[in-house]
Structure 1
Amino acid sequence: MLLSDGFRAHAQKSLQVLFNINYCAAQAQKTLSNIPASGNNLPRNIDKGKTDWRYVNYKDWCSGFWPGILWYLYEGTHDEKWKTAADSFTKELQPLSEHSGFDHDLGFMIFNSFGNGYRLTGNPEYKRVVLRSADSLATLFNPKVGTILSWPSMVKKMGWPHNTIIDNMINLELLFWASKNGGSRHLYDIAVKHAETTMRNHFRPDYTSYHVVVYDTITGKKIKGITHQGYADNSMWARGQSWAIYGFTMCYRETGKTEFLNFAQKVADVYLGRLPADLIPFWDFDDPAIPNAPKDASAACVTASALLELSGFVKDKHKAQIYRQKAEAMLQTLSSPAYQSHQVNNAFLLHSTGHHPAGTEIDASIIYADYYYLEALLRLDKLQHGKAAHYQHKSN
């Protein structure tokens, strides 16, 4: 049977996605073969010029990304060895669900690991851990302010009485899921209120995001918008803007509220409008050192994954097509020799920036870049096979 040019092009694209998923599997196998047996055995980053992962334990905010990668590899390859490895590393994080709320990152840590594990296996113990963790995260919600306290440790350290960071938008997914899978309806209400408050207070008139907003715990009023990891208080920190694109897209999926869909497009459009030619942002769009500033591949990975999902929600077909094409172009660049690690180290990608002001993880390989890169590849694979980009989490 002869294939039409369109079908042939589609097949070639599908093959390329599978090729890159297999590349990720090969890199992850190298990491798995060298990983410590116990203790600090969760990959976090590989600094520029080094070849070995820096490992952390389950208490690190990045602890859920490695188990999440393993679950994604199981989903993408159907190889049982990834399921076995994912289960082992996921279980290391179980103690997190037994503490009262200590940090907003509980969402990253638990939902990427136990959440993906439950989605793919239906293991009831995974579900129990996710539900306990959602209740724990909810204890950080301040009803007077209308948001979750992101960093309890910063209350005294930095004098930020109630601080909320844009990253926190991602962790609302844990609450949404729990509210629909045996948890309290209150969890859903908290997530919606947090998103609405963030939408109102966290953005400048041009829809660029502050990293941190500090609130008065007594009046609930916004005190100021500042940065912690960006170039300046009024700059557009690349990963922060990517969290916003991803977070509000997810909020629309979970609620169907059009204001979240419209807002996701506004924060996406300002990001896309300021990208360099290769579509991989510099770590902060306003760093005066550009074009000699470091890039942040992790922001590109988060955004590519978010845009693939957003493209399926936008009613304007032309705009939806633009979002998908931009996402595919980002993945094309990320999958090039300029960004894939190959023999440089065992990570998937190079050129991410973690905490530039602190001088850490600059132009490095970082585990969350790998996680969202693989997630974006899996989402694109779904789209190319006529399925929705987002994941259908088990709901019962």
Structure 2
Amino acid sequence: MKNTTTYLDYNATTPVDPRVIESVNLYFNEFYGNASSLHSLGNKSKTAVDTAKSSVATLLDTESDNIYFTSGATESINFALKGLALHPNNSKKHIITCHTEHKAVLETCKYLRSVGYEIEFLPVNKDGSINLNLLKSSIKANTLLVCLMWVNNETGVIHPVKEIGKITRDAGIYFVCDGTQGVGKLPINVMEAEIDILCFSGHKMYAPKGIGGIYINRSITKENKILPLIHGGGQEDGLRNGTYNVPLIAGLGKACEIAREEVSENEEYIKQLQDFIEDELLQIKGAYIHGKSTPRIYNTINVCIPGLDTEIFIGMNNDIAVSNGSACSSALVQPSHVLLAMDINADDAQSSLRISMGKNSTKEDLELLIQRLKNFILIS
């Protein structure tokens, strides 16, 4: 059955690219061997893992042996933060993060605080940006790491990762970055940005759900400064044990290969859509865009239309997929923690919609959304 939904929720998840599906199916149906087995089918699967690792590394401008596969960004974030903090070789107990981070970071930090770590949350400005001078002054003698995301999942605000990387490198501390909304959409060289650990998911970049990865700077693994979360058969150099999910790994590798080839084309196309819909939205009385005055990614708009009941609007227009918050917390009937941290009042936060586009989005999709919004405002 053909999907008739107008999909504008790409920050929540993306459709899997048909070329990725083809790659995944090959390793489900034909080359189904265990990548740790020595026979020919096992060797083909191991080759697929190695090829995918190379594709991920190329996208991030690093070496293959810095890449490890996980089930997604949430696992990667847990691995990064707990793996560094709980390692006996790391004695520092102070962690710096930010109020607008994803729940995967906030909840992991909450756990670490419960076992004795000091967690410092940086505030953000009204536009969602952080004060780099405040970041510098927050670093102490016992600071272990800074954990700040690359692109905010709700507003699209981009943090200056190169500047953050320089600050952390000069201070001799780790920089952990949630790259989930940036990988595959924006070019990055993790070494140039001086990121020590970068976490990401496949399903935000046209790969399947349930697969993701983590870049770990070789100096961390070489000096044995990170603990595995999962112990077992020694896969991934003993850092992420368990049987390789070869089909999904192959799919992630293919998605990274496609992203590298198409990233500039996608950005140019989607940015035109962003400009179009923002112009249309701002014609609605009282509407404003969160984070508009600071660098944002080209596919995301978080708009406040004061008085708009977003829950009722989404319920009445369930053939249009938009969001009134992060997909990971959308079941919670409460204002977005990201918008509240930006000093947006609770009423405006609850009157805000996130529109996130992808390479399959069209101008007609956006025109339909605008028309539905105008109709809903008229009858409200």
**Shared topology, TM-score over 0.5?**
no
Q: Which has the larger radius of gyration?
A: 2
Structure with the bigger percentage of strand: 2
Q: TM-score, normalised by structure 2?
A: 0.24
**Higher relative contact order, structure no. (Cα contacts within 8 Å, ≥ 6 residues apart):** 2
Q: TM-score, normalised by structure 1?
A: 0.23
